[in-house]
Structure 1
Amino acid sequence: MTAAAPTQPEAKRWRDLRKRFLSALVLGPTALLCVWLGSDPFTLLMAACVGVLAWEWVHLCGMRTRALPGAAVPVTVFVAGALAVVERPGWSWTVLLIGFLLAWGGARYARWRSGVPRQPALLLALGVLYIGVAGLCLIELRHDNAAGRANVLFLLTAVWASDIGAYMAGRILGGPLLWPSVSPNKTWSGSAGGLLLAMLCGMGMAAAMAPGSLARAAALAAILAVATQAGDLLESAIKRHFKVKDTSSLIPGHGGLLDRLDGLLAAAPAAALLAAAVGYGVPLWQ
């Protein structure tokens, strides 16, 4: 006898799984290869990602990256990132702050001149911080020659495991929604599944990369998973504000790069703070 066809609700529940898998099959190995090869390939990958993220953010705000004030977002983030690469962290953070203020002021001036009261001046400027802070944190993490590779791989493992665990547990178990006014699909069961898988994968990655405390690795992975889920909810709130389903249609099954990297944008600063706490050249879980 042939197996019964899945019911319509069940088919709808998993309809984006194939696209998600194919996209991850391309993006995941590319990111891992760049992290593994060294800080220079990783920096090039970061530059490409920042360019796309800035383009998506500026277009969400209804502006263009080819002209001011929209151009202030990619220019500021690129300059700050370049200063971080040449080990001028103080200057890079200063440029980021100045760029935020200039983008805000420039957008307000452009709004005044154009007479368009709903042009989102502050939201445009916040894109400098939203993208730039995470970018600088990732650069700082990977440019730690002694522990950068291990720490970034641990971060990516926790973020991806949280995403996968939340997706699978949420689809299988369902249940009460986590925050229905922000996201109609995220459930408490999915959040718990993401947290559990991140902790398990974090322990596995820690054991494979360097000796250390597995309990500490699990705790750190849990912190990064919570940050990842917070970033996912923030991105949902942003899209709800702009009344869009996806930030762009760049990646099949995932929407835009902002849709794909929302968790990483929030988890990267958390990982950078944890790395600063343990000290330069030390894996996070040691």
Structure 2
Amino acid sequence: MSTQLAPPKTRRARFQDLGLRTASAAVLIPVALLGLILGGLVWDALIAVFFIGLLREWRALSHFEAPRTRNRFLLAGLAYAALPGLALLWLRNRPDVGLDDVLFLLLVVWMTDIGAYIVGRLVGGRKLAPAISPGKTVSGAIGGLLIGMLAGMIFAGGPLGLLPAAALSLVSQLGDLGESALKRRLGVKDSGNTIPGHGGLFDRLDGVLAAAPLAALLALLAQGGLPLWR
């Protein structure tokens, strides 16, 4: 009996979800940047709205969890949403450097995501973690890391941004994988339907949620009120 191999994906098929990703980015990024630039109560309110949305999604996900572990699952979700939220609030409210700190974090995470997506689709190759997320490739992870580091270096104005950007990029990709593993364990495709047609907030913010606490730690280690990459 002969075995037929599946035909390789065409370039169009590889980018079939690009429209969805672009649409969600077109909504989330301007809202986030506007709140970030305005700062103060506007930023605090924006984080609160996202926090409530994340908790609603996590509560819905808890129905897929076994009853005996549901309470622990809910507590884990509270920490999962609260820690990054507090980190983002604290980072933005740092005197003089708060805006730059959060911009650096978001730029590195977003460019990592974009770089991993584009390089992974164009180059393909070995799967990164097929049991967790079949679509992710080693080439995409490396591409995302390099592009995230480049973005951090450019934003920081020199090589001082490379190592912090690399750390944030790696952690954001681990956060992406972690969320994929969770959804696979629960047997769900998306974390929710908060963004109609594009999934949930966790689906779009997993990298930021993972990297924000690390960004806060780097900022704590920075001396003399300098930005987190110093």
Q: Normalising by structure 1, what TM-score?
A: 0.74
In the TM superposition, residue 8 of structure 1 has moved relative to its aligned partner by 6.0
Q: Could you say which residue in structure 2 is the equivalent of 1:17?
A: 18
What is the deviation of 1:145? 2.1
**Cα offset, 1:283, TM superposition:** 0.8
User: Secondary structure of 1:120's partner?
Assistant: helix
The residue number in structure 1 matching 2:153 is: 203
Counterpart of 1:259 (choices 203, 207, 211) is 203
Give the match's secondary structure for 1:281: coil
Distance 1:238 1:231 in 2: 11
Taking the TM superposition and a 5 Å limit, the aligned residue runs for 1:240-259 are 240-252=184-196, 254-259=198-203
CA RMSD of aligned residues (A): 1.7
Return the match for 2:90 from 137, 140, 157.
140
The aligned amino acid for 1:136 is: L
Q: Is the 8 A contact 1:164 1:194 kept in 2?
A: yes
> Which residue does 1:193 correspond to in 2?
143
The 5 Å alignment of 1:101-180 reads 117-118=67-68, 120-180=70-130
- SS across alignment from 1:62: helix
CA distance in 2, matches of 1:275, 1:239: 31
Residues 37 and 242 (structure 1), Cα distance of their counterparts in 2 relative to 1, 3 Å cut: same
In structure 2, do the counterparts of structure 1 residues 117 and 40 end up closer, same or farther at CA, with 3 Å as the change threshold? closer
Separation in structure 2 between the aligned mates of residue 217 and residue 252 of structure 1, nearest angstrom: 36
Q: Is the 8 A contact 1:62 1:119 kept in 2?
A: no
Note the alpha carbon deviations across 1:66-87, whole angstroms, 9 max, x for none: xxxxxxxxxxxxxxxxxxxxxx
* 1:12-161 equivalences in 2 (<5 Å): 12-62=13-63, 117-118=67-68, 120-161=70-111
For residue 130 of structure 1, report the CA deviation from its aligned partner.
0.6
In the alignment, the residues of structure 1 paired with residue 120 and residue 203 of structure 2 have an alpha-carbon distance, to the nearest angstrom, of: 18
1:278 positional shift? 0.6
Q: Aligned pairs, how many?
A: 222
Q: Give 2:152's aligned amino acid.
A: G
- Cα distance, 1:253 vs. partner? 5.7
Q: Deviations over 1:184-217 (max 9, x none)?
A: 111110001111111111122222xxxxxx2120
Does the Cα contact within 8 Å between 1:148 and 1:281 map onto a contact in 2?
Answer: no
Q: Which has the higher contact order (CA 8 A, sep 6+)?
A: 2
Larger Rg belongs to: 1
Residue 45 of structure 2 aligns with an amino acid whose one-letter code is L
| 3-state SS in 2 of match to 1:55 | helix
Q: Residue 118 and residue 11 in structure 1: after superposition, are their counterparts in 2 closer, same or farther (change >3 A)?
A: farther
The yes-or-no answer on 1:215 pairing with 2:169 is no
> Which amino acid in the other structure matches residue 128 of structure 1?
L
CA distance in 1, matches of 2:195, 2:42: 22
Cα contact 1:232–1:262 (8 A) shared by 2: yes
Distance 1:170 1:159 in 2: 16
**Equivalent residue letter for 1:33:** L
Alpha-carbon shift at residue 223 of structure 1 (Å)? 0.6
- What is the deviation of 1:226? 0.3
Gaps of 5+ in 2: 1-7
8 A contact 1:20–1:253 mirrored in 2: no
**Offset from partner CA, 1:51-70 (integer Å, 9 cap, x none):** 1000000110019xxxxxxx
Q: Specify the code of the residue in structure 2 equivalent to 1:241.
A: R
Give the TM-score normalised by structure 2: 0.91
**What is the alpha-carbon distance in structure 1 between the residues aligned to residue 145 and residue 43 of structure 2?**
27
Matched position secondary structure for 2:63? coil
In the alignment, is the contact (CA less than 8 A) between 2:53 and 2:194 conserved in 1? no
* Distance apart, 1:168 and its partner CA: 0.4
